[in-house]
Structure 1
Amino acid sequence: MPAAWSASPASAGADWESLSPAEAREALAGPARVALIREAAEAGLPDAEAVWGQMLLDGAEVAKDARAGFGWFMRAAAQGHLQALNMVGRCYELGWGVAHDPARAADCYRVAAERGLPEAMYNYATQLALGAGVAQDKPAALGWLRQSAAKGFAKAENFIGSFHEDGWACDRDLLAAAQCYKRAADGGDFRGCFNHARMLVSKGRVREALPWIGRAAALGTPRFREQVRGWLAGQGDAELRVRGTAALDRC
């Protein structure tokens, strides 16, 4: 542990500015994590402000307070913290701790995307694809998704697959869609796992698909699992229905 953290958490705040980024990350992972993060946020460290904002938003280890969380994201974003700026956008998009404002959400995503954040590229692309808070522009959305995917963001790869499957802003190409879904699945995106499984099922490769359905169920949200359950109920293959449903029941 850095020497700066040999003091008690209550007296450690004055040493934040002397820590290297690696030392700060080490301190934030220590046993006094919550107190340290709050102190660091109050001392003006952008990484800590963003983490503290997320903890308040989620109610993780502290009382949930979405409005306060939004405020901390704003403070970090004002210092150029791109993940925090992306979260300001999420708050505006979903009405977390602030009034729903899709136009402001799109502005936040655009700025963070232009500065190279892959999550923001994906979020801005989604706004463009849906015409949410910004004029609908599917070709521009696809361009941002490709930039995000090139940085390894699996959710973007899955969305590109949907563009190819549905023929949005590009020719309909099921082979390209299947390849995108496979890359998204390999990257750990639960929707990518499901879409990869779905494409395998369409080719009669049910046994290959089943592990991916299980992975999608394990990684996905409760709402998503119910959607998969409904899809399984409509499938003609008995093994797929039974084993796929069993995977959902284990989650």
Structure 2
Amino acid sequence: MYSSFCVLHCLFCLSQGLYEEALIQFEKIKDTDFQAMYQLGVMHYDGLGTKEDPERGVEYMKKILYSDSPEARHLKFAAAYNLGRAYYEGCGVKQSTEEAERLWLIAADHGNPKASIKAQSTLGMLYSVSVLKDLKKAFFWHSEACGNGNLESQGALGVMYLYGQGIRRNTKSALECLREAAERGNIYAQGHLVEYYYNRKFYSTAVAVAKRITENDDIDMLAKVTDCLPTYVAKGVAMAAFYLARCLQLGLGVQQDQAAAKKCYSKVS
């Protein structure tokens, strides 16, 4: 009972940003409570309330993943996801994309609603861009994550349908995915919609969508709000800025404005 109360108190401290207080309390019960051990692992890895110590964070996650205790079972998938992240980044452990893949495959096995869906989406990204590139596998895992409500995978799935990556090209399915993801705030999907509208000469629609994107180009904030990778948020903003600049430069769907076009071009990275 005491341990459960302490964990709840510590989680409340975390939600309020009181990281140092949470760290102290978690340390007191880490040997008897796996939830406390897990939270300490995250805090040490990310440097929340303490100096970054990724090796220690990895140590805690491994203890959870390889524990035989029934009390650790519900945390194993989240621990596997975080360990995969450590191996992929080479932070706190020797870098290994293959080991990251193995751990994310464990985490993706529907054992934890949040960690498993995140692992599914991450596997979709992994198979899209890494040395393990396999677009059919990427499509499969993005489909799994999208079916479970993941916003980032929904946008990625739309792009794969649009260009026939890992699946036969299907414009109808692509637009369904991209439009729904865009409505939910996926900037990457919105950027691809701008490109789609521009290429089909729906210039006024392209301009309208692009303007909404470029009004707020705080990448880190947008990534945090949508829980999408900053890299892909930045790509979506850059795409929107480029096509908006083209429209302003040439007077397509909007009044010609060279100064505004130049300003938009400056946002393209």
Counterparts of 1:228 and 1:98, CA distance in 2: 34
Which residue of structure 1 aligns with residue 29 of structure 2?
43
Q: Give the 3 Å change call, closer, same or farther, for CA 51–245 of structure 1 in structure 2.
A: farther
Counterparts of 1:24 and 1:60, CA distance in 2: 13
Counterparts of 2:127 and 2:183, CA distance in 1: 26
Q: Give the 3 Å change call, closer, same or farther, for CA 196–47 of structure 1 in structure 2.
A: farther
Aligned length: 232
SS at match of 1:171: coil
- 1:121–1:148 Cα contact (<8 Å) kept: yes
Which residue of structure 1 aligns with residue 12 of structure 2?
26
One-letter code aligned to 2:59 = G
Q: Give the 3 Å change call, closer, same or farther, for CA 150–41 of structure 1 in structure 2.
A: farther
The equivalences for 1:164-243 within 5 A come to: 164-202=161-199, 203-204=202-203, 205=205, 206-215=207-216, 217-218=218-219, 219-220=222-223, 221=230, 225=234, 228-229=237-238, 232-233=241-242, 235-238=245-248, 241=261
Deviates more, 1:147-156 or 1:72-81: 72-81
- 1:103–1:132 Cα contact (<8 Å) kept: no
The equivalences for 1:129-144 within 5 A come to: 129-130=128-129, 132=131, 136-144=133-141
The equivalences for 1:77-88 within 5 A come to: 77-78=65-66, 79-80=72-73, 81=75, 82-88=77-83
Counterparts of 2:214 and 2:37, CA distance in 1: 37
Deviations 1:121-166 (A, max 9, x none): 1122333344645xx5432332221111111111111111121122
One-letter code aligned to 1:211 = R
Which residue of structure 2 aligns with residue 112 of structure 1?
107
Counterparts of 1:111 and 1:84, CA distance in 2: 10
Q: Give the 3 Å change call, closer, same or farther, for CA 55–195 of structure 1 in structure 2.
A: farther
- 2:188–2:236 Cα contact (<8 Å) kept: no
One-letter code aligned to 1:124 = L
**Which segments of 5 or more consecutive residues in structure 2 lack a partner in the other structure?**
67-71, 224-229, 249-256
One-letter code aligned to 1:35 = E
Provide TM-score, normalisation by structure 1. Answer: 0.73
Counterparts of 1:167 and 1:222, CA distance in 2: 22
Deviations 1:85-129 (A, max 9, x none): 111101111112111111110111101111351111112233334
Which residue of structure 2 aligns with residue 59 of structure 1?
47
**% identical aligned pairs:** 16
Counterparts of 1:189 and 1:137, CA distance in 2: 24
Which residue of structure 2 aligns with residue 10 of structure 1?
none
SS at match of 2:185: coil
One-letter code aligned to 1:112 = A
- 1:154–1:185 Cα contact (<8 Å) kept: no
Note the aligned Cα RMSD (angstroms).
Answer: 3.5
Which residue of structure 1 aligns with residue 97 of structure 2?
102
The equivalences for 1:4-23 within 5 A come to: 15-16=2-3, 18-19=4-5
